[in-house]
A and B are shown apart, each in its own frame.
Chain A
Amino acid sequence: MLQTSQQLVQRARSGNIAAIGRLMSRAEVGAAECRPALADIYRLAGRAHVIGITGVPGSGKSTLATRLAVCLRQSGRRIGIVAIDPSSPFSGGAILGDRIRMQELAGDPGVFIRSMATRGALGGLARGTLEAVDILDAAGYDTILIETVGVGQDEVDIVRAAHTVVVVSAPGLGDDIQAIKAGVLEIADIHAVSKCDRPDANKTIADLKNMLTLVHAAPEAWRPPVVPTSSHQREEGIDALLEAITQHHVWLQQGGRLAARRRNIVAQRLLKAAESLIRDRFDAQRGAHTEGLIDSVAARDIDPFSGAIALLKTLQIEVS
């Protein structure tokens, strides 16, 4: 007997774990049946503080998320964690291993952990991540941590999901020029430098701080702090990181900044949703027309741009 998504919303709101989990699965698939239920969820959500944690693979995102969650739990807050790992570009399958680092949280009824696979999404999040966050929010989780897939330099979708973004840098990767490049480092509200028990950590900390002094910020603007952390020496830096997150949250709540940030997030989300609807239609309808055009482009009879225009014409989309 299948439960409708609307029934699941009712049970999820009363804190039923199985209903929350099932609703997330349906949101990830994106079936039409689920849309009205997700619309209800969206209306109910909007209370939680959403914290994004991003950084290169192996920088310590899972470990840091776990330490943060443990500390936040001590204040009685209920914590949701959405952890994203990559899908195989070949089989489409994935090994989602973030729970291995999160064993300290296992069994805690105040913590909900969901693992998601990217399934081809390129921005550092997975399809359905934002909906999963909404579901946790509507189910009454106070703080939600999103741990992105390990990112490179340009996967910055986390800024359209989180109110506070923590970028985790590990020592020993690149010089001071890396620190002034555009991309992921620019989106940080807080920089965490992990593994700061290592001798080369001071250089990473100094590079980041130097980079930040080059920014010409308005006096009232948020200045991203650089927080050294180490899980090797258990609690090192976690309190400072938590303090920085709290300060950022307080700063956001002044002068309408949080409302502005939320508006910015939903603006990007709206556009992305429209984009993905068009992409779905494109993928569903392009079918038979594609192969012949690929042959023509491969034979260099036509160029890829003209081929694209011809392809869109078969879908009744006129571009020039």
Chain B
Amino acid sequence: MSSPPIRVLLAKVGLDGHDRGVKVVARCLRDAGMDVIYTGLHRTPQEVVQAAVQEDVDVLGVSILSGAHMTIFPRLVDGLRDAGAGDIILIGGGVIPDEDVVALKALGVSELLLQETSPADIVDTVRRLVQERGPR
């Protein structure tokens, strides 16, 4: 039996109404054969964590264009761990300064894909991280 599609939950958190980018990403991942769940806008970190755990996704991708990344990502990392879902790979996307990228990776965000990232790179990154994590 062939391996199941990679499952990805894409979310927008907080006061950030810009979701054209996340829809483009959703479409790219779909065309790469993945199951993509999109939550819609204005979710709280707790809601996103609950959805990711219920959906048992391989990857949680959160797009933040509001500048609140240093507040929101730590809550997502903690929330996933507390829910016993620390093996869900957290990827951030958006406009994030270099020093914050370093800090967020140290906190446990697996990868940050910034505004110049090509669709092919996004797909490759998701596949690579899921491969590195292995079966679960």
| Residues of A bordering B, CB below 8 Å | 2, 16-18, 20-22, 24-25, 28-31, 87-88, 91-97, 99-100, 103, 106-107, 109, 112-115, 117, 119, 280
Give min CB distance, A147 to chain B, whole Å. 14
Q: Is the C-beta of B20 less than 8 angstroms from some C-beta in chain A?
A: no
Q: In the complex, identify which listed stretch (B53-61, B93-101, B103-111) lies at the interface while the others stay far away.
A: B53-61
Give min CB distance, B14 to chain A, whole Å. 14
A-B contact count (CB 8 A): 97
A17 and B1 within 8 A (CB): no
A25 and B30 within 8 A (CB): no
A97 and B135 within 8 A (CB): no
A106 and B4 within 8 A (CB): no
Give min CB distance, A210 to chain B, whole Å. 39
10 CB contacts below 8 A, A to B, read: A17-B53, A25-B4, A91-B30, A93-B29, A93-B30, A96-B36, A106-B43, A112-B54, A113-B54, A119-B5
Looking at chain B's contact residues, the main secondary structure is mixed
| Residues of B bordering A, CB below 8 Å | 1, 4-5, 7, 26-27, 29-40, 43-44, 46-47, 50-51, 53-56, 83-85, 135-136
Looking at chain A's contact residues, the main secondary structure is mixed
B44 and A107 within 8 A (CB): yes
Distance in angstroms between the alpha carbons of A112 and B53 in the assembled complex = 10
Give min CB distance, B6 to chain A, whole Å. 9
A107 and B47 within 8 A (CB): yes
A93 and B56 within 8 A (CB): no
Q: A21-B55, A93-B36, A114-B55 are in contact. Are A107 and B31 (CB under 8 A)?
A: no
A114 and B31 within 8 A (CB): no
Distance in angstroms between the alpha carbons of A204 and B88 in the assembled complex = 46
A29 and B55 within 8 A (CB): no
Distance in angstroms between the alpha carbons of A96 and B10 in the assembled complex = 10
Residue in A91, A96, A106, A109 whose beta carbon sits within 8 Å of that of B38 in the complex: A96
Residues on the B chain within 8 Å of A99, using CB: 37-40, 51
A25 and B56 within 8 A (CB): yes
Residue in A22, A91, A117, A119 whose beta carbon sits within 8 Å of that of B56 in the complex: A22
B5 and A117 within 8 A (CB): yes
Give min CB distance, B110 to chain A, whole Å. 18
Give min CB distance, B33 to chain A, whole Å. 4
Residue in B7, B46, B136 whose beta carbon sits within 8 Å of that of A107 in the complex: B46
Residue of A with least CB distance to B84: A18
Residue of B with least CB distance to A105: B47
